Structure 1
Amino acid sequence: MNGELGWVPSREADFKQGEKNASSLSDSDVAALKLSMLPGVGPRIMSRLLEVFGDASSVLAASTERLAAVDGVGKQLLHKIRHVEDYVDVGTIVNWCAVKGVQLLFHSSDDYPRPLKDLYDPPPVLFAKGSVLPSDRLSVAIVGTRHGTAYGTRQAERMAYGLAQAGVTVVSGLARGIDAAAHRGALQGGGRTLAFLGSGLGEIYPSEHVDLVEEVSQSGSVMTEFPPYMKPRAGLFPQRNRLIAAMSAATLVIEAPQRSGALITAHLAGELGRDVLGLPGPVTGRASQGVNSLIRDGAILVQTVDDVLESLGPLAETVSTRDGHQVRHPVELKLNEVERQVLDAVSEGGVLIDQVIQASELPAHRVMATIGVLEMRRLVRRLPGQQIARV
């Protein structure tokens, strides 16, 4: 495993430090790290193993007969599981993370990104450089071709900039083209952005995005489920795409030809019940053929940041924004101070309009007009008896 990591402790002190860092992990976390880093154990086999045995510790302790009965576990993988210590050096991995400032986010921990738990095969362990905040649940993925045109990259930067300024976290895959433009637009907008890699954090791809990784990690997080020095391979990117789709309340596609990884992300988002959005491009442009077809087949056409916010449905649970507001629907980010003041005075169970006037300390005519605006934006609804309630 050390050779695969690309970083080998050269002194006895390094080995001891690795063992010390590893000893800070619980037995279940060590087992999860061993199993998830074992060559040959991908998301599907991992989900089967955990479905049968319950947790990683039970998998590693299982009998040869029970392991062999699991679909996908052949002789080679069976041998690796039985001799996991020969293939995975936990001390080396944990020490690499400590040296590089990389966090280990275990599925069982509170700091693991909650939206990823909607997957049937969530990674047991994530390597993360930077931070993931509760407010990141209010997020939109922006994805597209690696060969973005000037039009596509401008649109990606524009949409990401506007979303970031509105308080939405922008998620993407750090690839060339549209992905990179989305991350940069979010950073220019002074907001947060999350990146998911199709390689390890010790093998940044493309290599020219090393500086971008540092910028993103200062205003969000760069994450991967792969070992530190896992080199990028074609098959790893669709696997990475499921994390982008799951992390986001919606996926916005900007420029994608007919055969594009961005379309895979969009389809995964749809399967997860997330909104799928498309920004149209020239009908004669090859780079826009895929996204235009996506819109034709039912994706929501958007042209502005307001379109994106209005298209998003209510969040599964209330999210606290960076400025302290409690948001249930992304369109609330568009509200002005008066609209926010009135909405904050309305409960989900319903409240008398007179009580809203009293709580908001605004003139009655202004409250009534604002309620009309909130109704049009589908944030409140009228109830019998001069009452209103949040939607």
Structure 2
Amino acid sequence: MRTELDESTRAWLTLKLTPELGNISVLRLVKRFGSAEAVCAARTEAAQMPGLRREARESLAAGRTTRPVEDEWRDLRHRGWGLICLGDPDYPNNLENIADPPAVLYATSAPEPRDLVAVAVVGSRSASPMGLIFTERLCADLARRGVTVVSGFALGIDSAAHRGAIRAGGRTLAVLGCGLDVLYPRPNADLRAAVMAHGGFFTEFPLGTPPLSGHFPQRNRIISGLALGVVVVEATAKSGSLITARSALEQGREVFAVPGTAGNLRSLGPHLLLRQGAALVESADDILEHLKPLIRPSRTTPSAVPPAAAAAAFEPEESPSEHNLSPVETALLGLLGQEPVHVDRLCAQSGLGAAAVTAALTALEIKGLVRQMPGKYFMRLL
């Protein structure tokens, strides 16, 4: 990750901040002139390249930017963030291989070699309680097996995907449709800090860019591009998650879908994908079996993710430990499954008093083994 404003970084940032100069145009210019520095050095000639918008031509020729490069860099570095530019040694290997990789990525932290083995998990913002629980459990299982979980930090399924990876002590990457400094969505303020501690945020949008609706389809190609495959959990027929799935197909990635209840609006998207040939997912094993043949060494550190080691990470792990549970906690955990159970039923089934059951459930929730649902219902997470 670039942390110094040298001439190369200045040139990339200048192109990024040039009004109306889109990512594809930047890629074409750099390919034609050989480097970002060469484009800026020959900006009058570069502005004559066919296909550029009039405003982009004028801005490029005049060296005009949406804000001073020095100001953008100062604000970025003040927060401890940096840039990753196409061709950098730590530019994400998976992302580099798509048709239109972002020329410049704003990043809160540098990617790691293990992020080569990544799966994107996306879905509805208005997800069902069952969908959220399934997603969190699925992503926790993936994270325990050494898989980096990628998602878009939206409410609903995206947030559950990040939470699952974090709960398992794994790694998760969030791709934003706004500037790194823009807190969106606001209810995810606490989750933002957790993602920062267990991975990081990426975006191709400059600081201060608002979360406009048109930015998210553009962002979705980065979500799929960072991963070996995309899992769609819940989505309507017109969901943005299907755009991510289409991007995955165009990029040669695997597409997975989690089946839902027939007739449910949130099931329409996954069921459409399944009819089109997506792989059905009921557990992490369904995903990992498909991804084993796709593992390849990292360009930056070949020894960091050798194929054999990456494949070994996909081998089934032992059952999670019971976290030194008390007899009461063990008994209650045995009564819980994927279907929500009311606390009164747990009292009746266990023969324990309400106070003892409530205390044990609270302890299990703190240990990350159960989740309380609305109406005093509880579900098992592990």
Which bin holds the TM-score, normalised by the shorter protein?
0.7 to 0.9
Whether the aligned pair in 2 keeps the contact of 1:310 and 1:331 (CA below 8 Å) is no
> For 1:1-391, what aligned pairs fall within 5 Å after superposition?
24-62=4-42, 64=44, 67-71=47-51, 73-318=52-297, 326-328=306-308, 332-335=312-315
1:268 is paired with a residue of what secondary structure? helix
Q: Secondary structure at the match of 2:47?
A: helix
Q: Is the 8 A contact 1:312 1:329 kept in 2?
A: no
Partner of 1:341: none
- Cα offset, 1:327, TM superposition: 3.8
Q: 1:63 to 1:230 in 2, by over 3 A?
A: closer
Aligned-pair CA distance for 1:234: 1.2
Report the secondary structure of 2:277's partner residue: coil
RMSD: 2.5
Cα distance between partner residues in 1 of 2:72 and 2:211: 18
Alpha-carbon distance, 1:54 to partner: 2.9
Provide the C-alpha distance between the structure 2 equivalents of 1:311 and 1:76, rounded to a whole number of angstroms.
46
Amino acid at match of 2:156: G
Q: Which runs of 4+ in 1 moved over 4 A?
A: 328-331
**Which residue in the other structure is 1:344 paired with?**
none
Task: Give deviations 1:287-330, integer Å, cap 9, x for gaps.
Answer: 11011110111000010111111122423523699xx8844486
Amino acid corresponding to residue 32 of structure 1 in structure 2: W
Structure 2 Cα separation of the partners of residues 87 and 262 of structure 1: 31
The amino acid across from 1:227 in the alignment is P
Structure-2 separation of matches of 1:194 and 1:187: 10
Unaligned runs of 5+ in 1: 1-21, 338-391
Count how many residue pairs are aligned between Structure 1 and Structure 2: 314
Letter in 1 for 2:121: I
Aligned partners of 1:225, 1:336: CA distance in 2, in Å? 36
Partner Cα distance (2:73, 2:43) in 1: 28
Match of 2:343 in 1: none
1:184-216 CA distances to partner (integer Å, 9 max, x unpaired)?
111111100000000001112112223222211
Distance 1:45 1:268, change over 3 A: same
**Secondary structure at 2:181's aligned position in 1?**
coil
Counterparts of 1:335 and 1:199, CA distance in 2 = 37
Cα offset, 1:65, TM superposition: 5.6
CA-to-aligned-CA distance 1:20-77 (integer Å, 9 cap, x gap): xx99433122111110122312222223323333322232233646523421x13211
Offset of residue 284 of structure 1: 1.3
* CA distance in structure 2 between the aligned counterparts of 1:145 and 1:277, rounded to whole angstroms: 15
Cα distance in 2 for partners of 1:334, 1:272 equals 23
Query: Which SS does the other structure have where 1:148 is aligned?
Result: coil
Q: Does structure 2 conserve the Cα–Cα contact (< 8 Å) formed by 1:130 and 1:219?
A: no
Q: Report if the CA contact (8 A) 1:312-1:330 is conserved.
A: no
Q: Distance in 2 between matches of 1:265 and 1:257?
A: 13
For the residue of structure 2 that corresponds to 1:156, the secondary structure is helix
TM-score for both structures, normalised by structure 1: 0.75
Query: Measured at CA, do residues 43 and 24 of structure 1 come closer, stay the same or move farther in structure 2, by a change above 3 Å?
Result: closer
CA distance in 2, matches of 1:101, 1:137: 24
Q: Give the secondary structure class of the aligned counterpart of 2:202.
A: strand
Shift of 1:176: 0.8
Deviation at 1:127, TM superposition (A): 1.3
Cα distance in structure 2, aligned partners of 1:23 and 1:254: 37
Letter in structure 2 aligned against 1:116: L
More divergent stretch after superposition (82-91 vs 27-36): 82-91
Report SS of the residue matched to 2:108.
strand
CA distance in 1 between partners of 2:68 and 2:3 (Å): 13
The TM-score, its normalising length taken from structure 2, stands at 0.76
User: In structure 2, what is the Cα distance between the partners aligned to 1:328 and 1:269?
Assistant: 25
Give the % identical residues: 39
Query: Per-residue displacement from partner, 1:165-196 (whole Å, max 9, x unpaired)?
Result: 11111000001111001001111111000000
Counterpart contact for 2:139–2:165, Cα < 8 Å: yes
**Gap runs ≥5 in structure 2:** 318-382
Counterparts of 2:240 and 2:179, CA distance in 1: 19
Distance 1:262 1:253, change over 3 A: same
Within 2, Cα distance between the matches of 1:69 and 1:32? 18
